[in-house]
Chain A
Amino acid sequence: MAHVSIPSYWKTLPQRYCLIGMKCKNCGTINFPAREICISCKQKSEFEPKKLSGRGKIYSYTVIAAGSAPPEFSEQEKLAGSFPVAIVELEEGLRICAQITDYEEEDLKIEAEVEAVFRKIYEEDKVIRYGLKFRPVKKRKSLP
């Protein structure tokens, strides 16, 4: 079952691995994922790469219940049962859709601070697809 082909996936690796957005030279809007026609000014523009911080807040979320995940995520479903997916609003103002990982139930709320981490997304055609998930930013206890 090929969903997003390996060449298509490779084409988006800078975004998937390094959170590189494309800044429109016409209006300044960061397009993520990359586009040819700017999402905001709708012009065929020039774009320059812009590394995003990977820090943001949960804008909305859900928990995909065990038994209802897409078939290509059935391995994760077997291991983890349910898993959360969120729309994260990054510091730079744009939004991105990704899984939340390394979380406790109370971390799942709108406005909760999260940061991007590199993770295995799923495996297809014996090729592991890596990408970004987000984890809660925990307030670290200061050492005594």
Chain B
Amino acid sequence: MTLQKVAIIGVGQTRFGNIIDKKAEELFAEAFLEAVNDVDKGIDISEIQEVYIGNSGVGGGQLGNFSSLMTDYVGLTGASALRIENACASSGFAMRAAILAVSSGVCDVALAGGEEKMNDTPRNRVRYWLGISGDMEWERLSGMTFAGVFALMAIRHMHEYGTKREHLAMVSVKNHKNGASNPKAHLQRETTLERALASPMIAYPLTLFDCCPISDGASAVIVCKADLAKKYTDTPVYVAGHGGSTDRLSVFQRDDVTSINSSVVAAKRAYKMASVKPEDIDVAEVHDCFTIAEIIAYEDLGFCPKGKGGKLLEEGQTEIGGKIPVNPSGGLKSKGHPVGATGTGQIYEIVNQLRGSVEKKNRQVSGAEIGLTHNTGGSGGTTVVHILKR
């Protein structure tokens, strides 16, 4: 069977943040309508045959038949639809499912998206919910939190490679700087190294400024067969490669906690499919749920050798203007992390970067031709990587 090449023809995203005046389906509709309007030569939404929506179900609002609620509200009734749940990587995997649907030849046009509403849920319920995408029976029953699991990775990374708390804070400073010029970011303000280091401890060595915020938001991406793309838009972005993978759910049972193997494997598959190397990537959005996760991602994705993530930051190579700009959107840290909407939110950013259509020029990576997204579920139980080309 010959696989069809896939193109992205429209992307949309709400502002991420504490959005109290919109319900889940209204958030999704906002992102969806923006994606439809983004298809510059127009599209009739009845052409969308397959729909995949990422949602973790924080707070447990509509868990059953979530996809029907969403498609019904935006006028897509009749399309086949599926809610995809892979914790924080839900919509990254929804994206991959939409790509697979088109590339298999099953449909011409598919929609991937994500939605999460986290702020209208009682605090204790969010705290309960957030910890249960890792290992429940042993890690969680040790009183472990999500920040705690990533803190275990950080302490070990510091021990083995000499990474310092300052390196963690540098991720925070860089991403807040980028997010400060992103009108759709949750935390649109800069911070300093001193402030990040002095902020309250959450799980040693991670402080508040090492952790992403709890956000609401939605995102949507319309994909089609590549040979149909020019019918819909003059500026399609092509899917060059993708890969998904899993790792052991519990961090304590992994051979090496300073790396997330699902990232390594997913990236390897995506690079191979796209026939590119890490050094060919011009811009990347990576899963920085905690600052240490971004440092580990540099190493797992091959942007630097193992253990050299801190050095890459010191050299400023992942800033806009550096060798490999990472998280020009502000990343999860500053742009925000509405769990189920994050994956397709990363696609939204990279598509705009490759088109050169980022709304503020200081955030635009100039001349970017190949971009990568990296979306991890929980503490690394699942990861999906996409490589996009102009």
Contacts and interface: CB of A to CB of B under 8 A. Distances in A.
A65 B155 contact: no
Contact of B159 (A85, A110, A131): A110
Contacts of A131: 141
A72 B156 CA distance: 27
Contacts of B139: 97
Given A60-B156, A63-B203, A70 B145 contact: yes
Contact of A1 (B128, B135, B201, B252): B128
A98 B156 contact: no
A87 B257 contact: yes
Interface residues of B, number: 36
Contact of A63 (B138, B201, B253): B201
Contacts of B205: 62
A95 B253 contact: yes
A98 B202 contact: no
Interface in B131-181: 131-132, 135-145, 147-148, 151-153, 155-156, 159
B143 A62 contact: no
Interface string A42-73: 00000000000000000111111100111111
Contacts of A127: none
Interface in B233-276: 250-253, 257
B367 interface: no
B200 interface: yes
B46 to A, nearest CB: 44
Contacts of A3: 128, 132, 136, 140-141
A3 B204 CA distance: 25
Given A65-B202, A68-B203, A60 B257 contact: yes
Contacts of A95: 252-253
Interface of B: 124, 127-128, 131-132, 135-145, 147-148, 151-153, 155-156, 159, 200-206, 250-253, 257
Interface of A: 1, 3-4, 8, 12, 33, 39, 59-65, 68-73, 76, 82-83, 85-87, 95-99, 110, 121-122, 129, 131
Given A65-B203, A121-B142, 20 more contacts: A39-B253, A59-B156, A60-B159, A60-B257, A62-B205, A62-B206, A63-B201, A65-B200, A65-B202, A69-B143, A70-B140, A70-B145, A82-B201, A85-B142, A85-B148, A87-B251, A96-B138, A97-B251, A110-B155, A129-B141
